[in-house]
Amino acid sequence: MEILNTATALQARTEEWRRAGQRIGLVPTMGALHEGHLQLVRAAAQECEVVVVSVFVNPTQFNNPDDFRLYPRLPEADAELLAPAGCTALFLPSVEEMYPQSTVLQFSFGKLEQVMEGTHRPGHFNGVATVVSKLFHMSRPHRAYFGQKDLQQVTIVRQLIADLSFDLELVVFPTVREADGLAMSSRNRRLSAEARAVAPRLYAALQLAAQRSTARAVSPEEARQAALDYLAAEPAIEVEYLEVADARTLQPVTEWQETKTVALCLAAHLGGVRLIDNLVVTL
């Protein structure tokens, strides 16, 4: 596995791979890798001759300076995990390399960004769209791999690909979970023992709302409230939002007949660590 630190080096290799007719798979990450990331890398390695994994804690997508400061950074451990998973090239740029002019582009994704992460993390999707666009240009992937855990991100990246005519296929990989249901996330490392013990409740709450939804015995708001009540029983969990949304448009669902596939999405704080999760249910 080669390690590339500059855009110029990555672009030069990209040209060589393309000229040799090799398919390039890109897996963008912020590092502190776990099994969820590694499954994306393995999937890319099955489908592409070249797998580029970027590890970059992107400052422009953080609205909370403490979240950025405390985000886990483990580049040596990441490199050791990536080679056996099938990564060809690890792209590990500095902030100066990615933002030589400190420009953050302004994007507009309309209603898609006026809900959930978009409203609760102002500027977040501008930062994501900026860095993802730059990574797409530098590595010119045939396929780009993203996780369903960040469902709104996937929806916005799909829109970005269409809006900017990126010639690539978006691959969305299902959420990889711990045995007790907790969605794997780099931020899980920051959970205290007490917070980790109650964290599986997030997924359990989504499953509860999903059961109510599929039975259609209750309204979307009642399904949502059942999940909120379940979470309220655990004082260590502070819910930021919990939405029953149309899985395609991400807009809130108020009546079941409006939509066939709903996404149950939540963000919650556990002892100072903010986690998100979602469950997509076809009615």
Determine which helix (DSSP H) or strand (DSSP E) holds 256, and give its type and residue range: none
| Cβ atoms 26, 145 nearer than 8 A | yes
* Packed helices 201-215 and 220-232: angle between N→C axes, nearest 10 degrees: 160
Return the amino acid letter for 7. A
Least Cβ distance, residue 217 to ligand BAL (angstroms):
34
> Residue 190 or residue 201: which is nearer to ligand PAF going by CB?
190
| Chosen residue from 38, 85, 132, 264 binding ligand PAF by CB under 6 A | 132
What would the x/- binding string for ligand PAF be over residues 134 to 173, using CB under 6 A?
----------------x--x--------------------
Report the C-alpha gap between 109 and 157 in whole angstroms.
10
Q: Is 101 annotated as a binding residue?
A: no
Q: Which is nearer to ligand BAL, 61 or 278 (CB)?
A: 61
Query: Is 37 assigned a ligand-binding role in the annotation?
Result: yes
43 near ligand PAF, judged by CB under 6 A: no
Closest CA to 179 of 33, 44, 35, 29: 35
Strand runs (DSSP E) across 142-202, as ranges?
143-147, 169-173
148 annotated to bind ligand: yes
Q: Does 186 bind ligand ATP (CB under 6 A)?
A: yes
CA distance 48 to 66: 37
31 assigned to a ligand binding site: yes
Q: Where are the alpha helices (DSSP H) in 21-150?
A: 35-47, 65-70, 75-85, 95-98, 116-120, 124-139
Scanning 107-115, 136-144, 159-167, 183-191 for contacts with ligand ATP by CB under 6 A, the matching segment is 183-191
Should residue 231 be labelled a site residue for ligand PAF when binding is judged by CB under 6 A?
no
- 181 DSSP β-pair partners: none
Nearest to 235 by CA among 266, 197, 282, 204: 197
State the catalytic residues: 37
Strand pairing report for 273-282 and 261-270: antiparallel
Nearer to ligand ATP, 18 or 274 (CB): 274
Q: Which does 132 bind (CB under 5 to 8 A by kind): ligand PAF, ligand BAL, ligand ATP, none?
A: ligand PAF
Q: Which is nearer to ligand BAL, 78 or 150 (CB)?
A: 150
Residues that bind ligand ATP (CB under 6 A): 29-30, 36-37, 40, 146-147, 149-150, 173, 175-176, 183-187
Residues that bind ligand PAF (CB under 6 A): 28-30, 58, 61, 128, 131-132, 150, 153
